[in-house]
Amino acid sequence: MESESGSAGGSREVRGYRITGRVQGVGFRWWTQDAGRALGLAGSVWNRRDGSVEVCAAGKGTALDALERALGEGPLGARVDSVTRVRPDHEPVGEGFRIVHP
């Protein structure tokens, strides 16, 4: 989803990401939650049954860009094979970033 104003960094955007590799059982969700909070984003992160992790995040485009770069690195112990933008299936409600169990 693009920002309403089309600006790269100013207004709120919502983005979804799917991360593949060794991303479950290595603290990836906790690490992502901390990264999202540090960047001032609202959103959620969860494990998928296929072994990937999915993220839905909302905030300024510049902060979302920073999160996307960080997701490509991941925490120690993780091995990120790909970070793919996906259509978010919901819009984050409220403030904060949290781990969810859909």
Task: Name residue, tokens 């120690």.
Answer: 76
Local confidence band at 7 (pLDDT 50, 70, 90 cut-offs): very low
pTM above 0.75, yes or no: yes
Task: Name residue, tokens 């409220």.
Answer: 94
* 83 phi and psi angles, rounded to 5 deg: -125, 115
Q: What is the mean pLDDT of the chain?
A: 90
- Domain 12-87, second-level architecture: 2-Layer Sandwich (3.30)
For the cut 70, the answer to whether the pLDDT of residue 4 exceeds it is: no
Tokens of 3: 């920002």
Task: Name residue, tokens 């403030």.
Answer: 95
Residues forming the active site: 29, 47
For the cut 80, the answer to whether the pLDDT of residue 3 exceeds it is: no
For 21-27, what is the mean pLDDT?
97
Taking only the tens place, the pLDDT of each residue in 57-93 is 999 999 999 999 999 999 999 999 999 999 987 778 7
- Residue spans of the domains in the chain: they are 12-87
